[in-house]
A and B are shown apart, each in its own frame.
Chain A
Amino acid sequence: MKKTLIPLNLLPIGRHGRVNRLIANGSVKRRLLDMGFTNGTRVEALQQSPSGDPIAYQVRGAVIALRSEESSLIIMEALLQEG
């Protein structure tokens, strides 16, 4: 297991990590912060929609679905298997 930085959209389903930083700007960033994706927040990838995108995430006690366009802007720090 190794600590890695990956965008949230690539976090495997069932795994969790902590928000390292947001690479969004303006209103998108504000909305993400407002939804609770602040630095250090624990986020777990719960469930893909039937077509694979969006993905539902558990964040701060709520379940929030994000499209990959937005989730790729959230950089996560996660413990993942190497390789």
Chain B
Amino acid sequence: MALTNQSTGLGALKEMFQVKMDSADDVVIALAGNPNTGKSTVFNDLTGLNQHTGNWPGKTVTNAQGSYRYKNKKFILVDLPGTYSLMANSVEEEVARDFICFGKPAVTVIVTDGTCLERNLNLVLQIMEITSKVVVCVNLLDEAKRKKISIALDLLSKELGVPVVGTSARNGKGIEELKEVVYQVAQDGIQPEPVRILYSEAIEKAIEMLIHALDSAVSKSLNSRWLALRLLDEDPSILEEINRLLGFRLLEDQSILQSLDEARLILNEKGICQDVVSDHLVSRIVCRAEELTEAVVTVHNKNYNQFDRKTDHILTSKAFGIPIMIGLLGIVFWLTVQGANYPSAILASFFRWIEEKLVLLFASAAIPDWIHGILVQGVYKTMAWVVSVMLPPMAIFFPLFTLLEDLGYLPRVAFNLDNFFKRACAHGKQALTMCMGFGCNAAGVIACRIIDSPRERLIAIITNNFVPCNGRFPTLIAMATIFIAGTSAFSSFFATLAVLGVIVFGVIMTLLVSNLLSKTILRGLPSSFTLELPPYRRPQVGKIILRSIVDRTLFVLGRAMMVAAPAGLIIWIMANINVNGTSLLSCGAALLQPLGNALGMDGYILMAFILGFPANEIVIPIVIMSYLSAGALLDLDSMAALKDLLISNGWTWLTALNVMIFTLLHFPCGTTLLTIRKETQSIKWAVVSFLIPTGAGILVCFLLTQIAKLSGLA
């Protein structure tokens, strides 16, 4: 998941790919591989924490980049999207293919899963057709050993004709050797000679004819054999890319066109039509992978995957699959709610201690009241709230969630839920993108790239906001704790149940809206769906904690604080500048009051949601600041103080419930909307993504409030 800092870079052709180079001597390395092969672990092992993200032009695909030094050379590692193939033309596959093809990396390292080599060799063989500068990294050798699978790496290297390095990246084993081999290949110390995959006689003849014409036309810039294969395959997307990136229209070259016609003629004479050629090209590689696997892999225990099968029988069973899923989610939330209380309180009192010192400092320096107000009551307090309320739950939630991810549980979630999505005419992998949305909706929107069909990808993007992101959890948790949980011994249990209820409601809304979209503006039938259920892995707990805190928690927190500081300033000003005796904030709230009433909330709350547009984290701080006439946050050392404040401003359980629902169902935050615009390349879909959840929220809150009032419940 690309959820780190943004950056841009320079370089010749690399400029288009935003590869950040310090000097022309830097060596660019591409890192390819199937998903779930531990590719990111290899990446992290090689680069340490030294990474940032870049953008792919036109397609705006973020890919992580990092660098490392070896033998006085700087290596820049570009992490390509995880793909099974380069032939099926999903966005991610095109990105990976284009970078290997046009990005001209000095070396392409292909990370493979030692426990599932055959599946992985497909990609290796496909990449070897494009470039000879390949190093194969057979990873997860520790898992393979545990499953009693042995792999003859030397033989594999000989059969492939390229260097093969065995690693268990999770323990850092083999990484030094990988660095050395990559260095050698980059410096031409080792010159890989990929063993060519031979196709049928007729096709080989056709290839020969095309290579001749291509060699003189495109010179050495692209592998002409591979290009010939793609021409025979009639792959339109590669022709487009060549035109876009190299400014060369392949089929406008008379000699190429002529030889293509002649090649087709030969094939037709042999009775080989276009479809057969394409099938042959794909199948031949798959069969070669099978041959290789038979030669190099020995399985000592035929039942090596019994554990996985048994686990799947439970985790995806008819009776337990869905209950276990909801249960696990519940446990994650319960641990988050329960575990966050204590550190939150400590952080809050720590920040209050600093605040007292600040007040003294400001007083002794005779700084004017309004500066003190803006800086301490506005900026400082808002930031302190955001940190003390957000940091503990995130520091618990993200590692727990990463743990599930690392175990290999998330694809099972997609498997369990697929039928619901199919009935909504949506894609099963949408469940995976929703899981990402729990962390951050913008990341969830980016994750939608794993969905091939544009229609289903749009549905997933538009509905991603129906899963509450990390910025909205504190609001949900606070509301549930104060108004729903009560004060019984099981309060955190009830709070968890309430939050879980909201999330299930969000999932139902996702399905309903997906279905509605499929029947209206995004009409269509579900596209093809293939999902791998990768082997379960023993997670590396230490690494998970480190990475999820560094990569996710601190990043999200940093973003929230960047927004909270100026927001605190603006809100303080709005609360303290008076027009005709009322503050700007109150004026705005008065304007929104009728709508707020109809929705079972009030003008201040709606105002807070609107002002919280840059980041949802600050909604509750704004509500609190608005209620306090001083226009500053009160000391939130206890939830009781917050409850008193809210009740004295007319809150009931219905208000809290409406706030929870509206937190779930309202416009996405600014960052998410920008990401949607970027990903869809259209303002229209960003607007749709804004209107649909907002409309749904207004509708649901309105109906709920009116029903509750009419039936005398509130």
Contacts and interface: CB of A to CB of B under 8 A. Distances in A.
Interface of A: 25, 27-36, 38-39, 46-54, 56, 60-67, 69-70
Interface of B: 84-85, 87-89, 116-119, 122, 275, 278-279, 282-283, 286-287, 289-290, 293, 308-309, 312-313, 316-318, 321-322, 415-416, 418-420, 422, 428, 526, 528-534
Contacts of B119: 36, 60-62
Nearest to B308: A63
Contacts of A69: 526, 528-529
Given A63-B308, A69-B528, 11 more contacts: A32-B530, A34-B84, A34-B282, A35-B84, A46-B312, A47-B309, A50-B416, A53-B419, A54-B419, A64-B532, A70-B529
B526 A27 contact: no
Given A46-B312, A61-B118, A62-B116, A54 B290 contact: no
A34 B85 contact: yes
5 contacts: A27-B89, A39-B283, A65-B529, A65-B530, A67-B418
A82 to B, nearest CB: 28
A38 B283 contact: yes
Nearest to B126: A34
Nearest to A40: B287
A64 B89 CA distance: 19
A60 B87 contact: no
A57 B287 CA distance: 19
B160 to A, nearest CB: 18
B533 A63 contact: yes
A22 to B, nearest CB: 9
A30 B283 contact: no
Given A52-B419, A60-B118, A36 B532 contact: no
Contacts of A35: 84, 530
Contacts of A38: 283, 286-287
Contacts of B308: 63
A33 B531 contact: no
Nearest to A70: B528
A48 to B, nearest CB: 7
B367 to A, nearest CB: 63
A31 B534 CA distance: 18
B706 to A, nearest CB: 35
Contacts of A62: 116, 118-119, 532, 534
Contacts of B415: 49, 54, 56, 65
A31 B87 CA distance: 8
Nearest to A31: B88
Contacts of B275: 25
A30 B531 contact: no
A56 to B, nearest CB: 6
B286 A48 contact: no
B530 A64 contact: yes
A70 to B, nearest CB: 5
Nearest to B323: A50
Contacts of B418: 49, 53-54, 65, 67
Given A65-B415, A65-B533, A27 B116 contact: no
Given A47-B312, A50-B321, A70-B529, A61 B293 contact: yes
B419 A51 contact: yes
Contact of A61 (B117, B279, B528): B117
Contacts of A67: 418, 422, 428, 526, 528-529
Contacts of A65: 415, 418, 428, 529-533
Contacts of B309: 46-47
Contacts of A64: 530-533
